[in-house]
Amino acid sequence: MTSHDDPGPAPRRPRGRPPGGGHTPVQARDKLLDAAAESFRTAGITATTMTGIARRAGFTRAVIYRHFSGRDDVVDALTRRTLDRHLATIAVRFAELDDPAEIIVGSLVFIATEVGTDPLLALLSEHRGRHTVVHLIESSPEIGELVLSMYAAGLKRFGRRGLRPGLDAHDGARFIVSTALAFLLDAVPGVRGPEQVRRYVVSFVLPGLMADPPPVLPLDP
């Protein structure tokens, strides 16, 4: 007999993998997005199915529909994740710099030359019929707000040191973000590579933000 204090034998554990293959929901979502990105690159977005993404990630069709309502939802989530990773790279790369000019110039060069040429973002924007990363960002307005707040916080961190007297941090951030969007739209003629972007920012952007901007970079002979 079993006493009232004895719960008895433990129930048998069902055989096989636990729901989700032992992955947390976050891990499963990331694996699905990784699989989607690979399939989009190799087969194209229109030829990629939800079932194909799930199989490539090692999940069933039911699992992918727990996380995404359809392929367009996958595209949106992959866009947001890719942009978030670029923003995280900017934050980490420039977090320890103590010179506002270096941060502004370096981050704008990164946006113009790395974010603007990201092949996955270009593919996703073409699928959405937007043709540029900027129009892709417009579908996720929270991204623009995040970038704006990031630059505003950076300008506030420096306070009066090196910046124009009376410059409002949010106004300065808007100026930087508008410049970044111009680069992403290819709206600055003749400015493509890192050195051209750097020269443009030093010549025209920093004088609008800093009390004593660095001298303009000389042209290569």
Looking at CATH, the fold of the domain delimited by 71-208 is given as Tetracycline Repressor; domain 2 (1.10.357)
Segment 122-138 mean pLDDT: 74
Alpha carbon distance 50, 36 (integer Å): 9
In the predicted structure, residue 129 carries a pLDDT above the cut 90: no
Domain ranges of the chain: 21-68, 71-208
CATH of segment(s) 21-68: 1.10.10.60
Its pTM stands at: 0.78
Q: What is the largest CA-CA distance in the chain?
A: 96
Which pLDDT score, from 0 to 100, does residue 13 have? 36
Q: Do domains 21-68 and 71-208 have the same CATH topology?
A: no
Q: What is the DSSP letter of 189?
A: T
Q: Look at residue 215 and tell me whether its pLDDT is greater than 90.
A: no
Question: Which pLDDT tens digit goes with each residue over 36-81?
Answer: 999 999 999 999 999 999 999 999 999 999 999 999 999 989 988 9
What amino acid occupies position 115?
V
Q: Residue 48 contacts by C-beta under 8 Å, 6 or more apart in sequence?
A: 36, 39, 40, 71
